[in-house]
Amino acid sequence: MTETGEKKQLLHLVFGGELKNLESLQFQDLSALDIVGIYPDYASALVAWRAKAQQTVDNAQMRYFIVHMHRLLDPDSKSV
């Protein structure tokens, strides 16, 4: 917790797009990536990820990901 008692923000990005093939992580069209949003914690990001993944379940090429932005912003951090 921070000095004010607030929960520390551990930012997570949820995004997805259509892959070129199922064996790689290369997207067909980078300009068509779906940036779902940035969330203050993993639990919130997971809810958004599940919702988008469920919406696109019929498209095997479509994949959504959660990026732990807080790890990129502070690589020495031991946070989850």
Q: Which pLDDT score is estimated for 1? A: 47
Residues 8-33 as b/e (b if ≥16 CB within 10 A, e otherwise) read eebbbbbbbbbbeeeeeeebeeeeee
DSSP state of 65: E
Query: What does each of the 80 residues of the chain score in pLDDT, given as a tens digit?
Result: 455 667 788 999 999 999 999 998 999 999 999 999 999 999 999 999 999 999 999 999 999 999 999 888 877 766 55
Q: Which pLDDT score is estimated for 73? A: 84
Is the distance from CB of 61 to CB of 28 less than 8 angstroms? yes
Please list the residues that pair with 34 across neighbouring strands.
16
Q: How many CB atoms lie within 10 A of CB 73?
A: 10
Domain 12-73 coded CATH 3.30.70.2400: yes
